[in-house]
C-alpha cells in the first residue's frame, strides 16, 4: 500500500515537472532597469544661448544602487549634470531607491563657449545612467536659431567731427554684421538740425553676410547760416533683421571768407573810432 502511494506521488511530481518547468514553478526575480525620461526632448534658443533639460530617473530593482551619470554634448560645448536643487553643483553619480513613485529629477546643462557662435541647426546631447549591467540613456536636442546683430561704428572709434557751414564735410562710418546669419536690405537714415543735409554713399546695402563689414561715407552739410558751435546728428543703419545708430558731435566752423569779413569790419570800426577821436581832439 505504501509502495503504491509513493509511486503515485512520484508519478504526480513527474507530471507536474513536465507541465511546469522548475523555472516557472520558482518565483521569477523581476528584471532591474533604469529609465530616463523628460517632458521636453527638444529646446530652442538663439546662437550663443544655453540649454537646460529636466530629466527623471526611474529605477526598478530589488535594492538601492548608485548610478554613474554622464552627459555628452557638441564639440567644445560645456555639458554637465546638476541636481534639481541646488543647480550650482555638478554631480557624477546618484543613489536611487527602487520603486520610488515619482523617480528622481536631475538637470542636464549645455552651452557653447563665449567665443563660439554656433551656426543654426540641431545639436545632440546624450545623458546616460549606469550601475553595473543596468544602463539607460536619453537623447536630447538643442535647436540653435540664427542670431541677428547689426552694429554701426566708426573706423577709429571717434564720434566727433568738424564741419564748415554750407559746405560738404565727409565722415566715414562702418556697418558690421556681428551675428550668425545675413542681414538684408540695410538702409541709412539720419536725424539732424533743421536746414542740414546728410547723404550716404552707398545709401543702401542689399545684404551683409555674418561677420561682414561695409564702409559708408556720410556727407554732412550744415546750413550756410549755421552759427559756429557744437551740434549733434544721429546716423542710423536699419536692416530687415536688425538696426543700430550712433550719435555724432559736429563742431561747425564759419567759412574762411566770413572770417576775413569779420576782421575787416573790426578794423573799419577801430579806424572809424580813431578818426573820430583825432578829429575831435584837434578842436
Let me know whether 190 and 223 are in one domain: yes
Q: Which of 110, 129, 145 is the endpoint of a domain? A: 145
Asked if 192 and 199 count as a contact pair (C-beta separation under 8 A), the reply is no
Whether 200 is covered by a domain: the verdict is yes
CATH at residue 250:
2.60.40.10
| Shared-domain flag, residues 171 and 220 | yes
Of 123, 145, 167, the last residue of a domain is: 145
pLDDT at 19 over 80: no
Using the predicted structure, report yes or no on whether residue 26 has a pLDDT greater than 80: no
Phi and psi angles of residue 68, each rounded to the nearest 5 degrees, phi first: -75, 140
Mean pLDDT, rounded, for 117-125: 94
pLDDT at position 113 over 50: yes
Asked if residue 223 belongs to a domain, the reply is yes
pLDDT of residue 228: 94
Q: How far is CA 269 from the centre of its chain?
A: 67
pLDDT category at 168 given cuts 50, 70, 90 is very high
CA end-to-end span of the chain, whole Å?
Answer: 178
Same domain, 154 and 242: yes
What pLDDT score does 31 carry? 84
Could you tell me if 121 and 222 lie in one domain?
no
Sign of CA dihedral 17, 18, 23, 27: negative
- Residues 6+ away with beta carbon under 8 Å from 25: 16
Q: Which of 113, 145, 177 is the last residue of a domain?
A: 145
> Do 126 and 212 share a structural domain?
no
- In a domain, residue 189? The reply is yes
Q: What is the pLDDT of residue 255?
A: 74
Q: Which is higher by pLDDT, 45 or 266? A: 45
The reported pLDDT for the residue numbered 99 is: 77
- Beta strand spans in the chain (E): 33-37, 42-46, 51-60, 65-72, 78-83, 93-96, 104-111, 121-131, 134-145, 150-153, 160-164, 170-177, 183-191, 197-201, 204-208, 213-221, 229-238, 243-253
Residue 108 in any domain: the answer is: yes
- pTM given for the model: 0.68
Domain shared by 79 and 155, yes or no: no
Q: State the average pLDDT over residues 78-84.
A: 96
Residue 32 lies in domain = 27-145
Looking at the fold, whether 35 and 140 belong to one and the same domain comes out as yes
Judge if 32 and 81 occupy the same domain: yes
Distance in angstroms (rounded) separating the CA atoms of residues 142 and 98:
31
Mean of the per-residue pLDDT values of the chain:
87
Closest CA to 111 of 141, 72, 88, 77: 77
Average pLDDT over residues 198-208: 97
Question: Considering its fold, how many domains does the chain have in total?
Answer: 2
| Residue 195 cell numbers, joined | 536746414
Claim to verify: residue 50 and residue 141 sit in the same structural domain: yes
Whether residue 48 is found in the same domain as residue 102: yes
Angle at 158 between CA 157 and CA 161, to 5 degrees: 155
Phi/psi for 23 (5° steps) reads -65, -30
Amino acid at each position: 500500500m505504501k509502495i503504491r502511494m509513493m509511486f503515485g506521488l512520484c508519478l504526480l511530481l513527474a507530471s507536474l515537472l513536465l507541465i511546469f518547468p522548475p523555472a516557472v514553478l520558482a518565483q521569477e526575480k523581476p528584471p532591474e532597469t533604469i529609465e530616463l525620461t523628460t517632458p521636453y526632448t527638444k529646446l530652442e534658443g538663439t546662437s550663443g544661448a544655453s540649454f537646460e533639460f529636466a530629466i527623471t530617473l526611474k529605477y526598478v530593482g530589488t535594492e538601492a544602487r548608485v548610478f554613474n551619470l554622464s552627459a555628452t554634448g557638441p564639440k567644445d560645448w560645456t555639458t554637465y549634470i546638476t541636481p534639481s536643487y541646488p543647480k550650482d553643483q555638478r554631480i557624477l553619480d546618484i543613489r536611487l531607491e527602487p520603486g520610488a513613485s515619482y523617480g528622481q529629477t536631475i538637470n542636464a546643462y549645455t552651452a557653447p563657449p563665449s567665443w563660439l557662435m554656433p551656426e543654426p541647426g540641431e545639436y545632440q546631447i546624450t545623458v546616460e545612467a549606469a550601475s553595473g549591467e543596468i544602463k539607460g540613456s536619453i537623447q536630447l536636442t538643442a535647436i540653435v536659431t540664427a542670431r541677428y546683430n547689426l552694429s554701426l561704428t566708426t573706423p577709429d572709434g571717434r564720434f566727433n567731427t568738424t564741419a564748415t557751414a554750407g559746405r560738404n564735410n565727409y565722415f566715414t562710418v562702418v556697418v558690421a554684421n556681428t551675428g550668425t546669419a545675413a542681414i538684408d536690405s540695410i538702409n541709412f537714415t539720419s536725424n539732424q538740425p533743421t536746414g542740414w543735409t546728410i547723404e550716404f554713399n552707398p545709401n543702401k546695402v542689399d545684404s551683409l553676410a555674418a561677420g561682414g563689414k561695409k564702409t559708408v561715407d556720410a556727407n554732412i552739410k550744415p546750413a550756410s547760416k549755421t552759427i559756429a558751435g557744437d551740434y549733434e546728428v544721429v546716423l542710423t543703419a536699419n536692416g530687415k533683421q536688425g538696426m543700430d545708430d550712433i550719435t555724432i558731435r559736429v563742431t561747425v566752423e564759419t567759412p574762411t571768407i566770413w572770417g576775413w569779413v569779420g576782421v575787416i569790419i573790426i578794423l573799419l570800426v577801430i579806424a572809424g573810432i580813431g578818426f573820430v577821436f583825432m578829429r575831435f581832439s584837434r578842436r
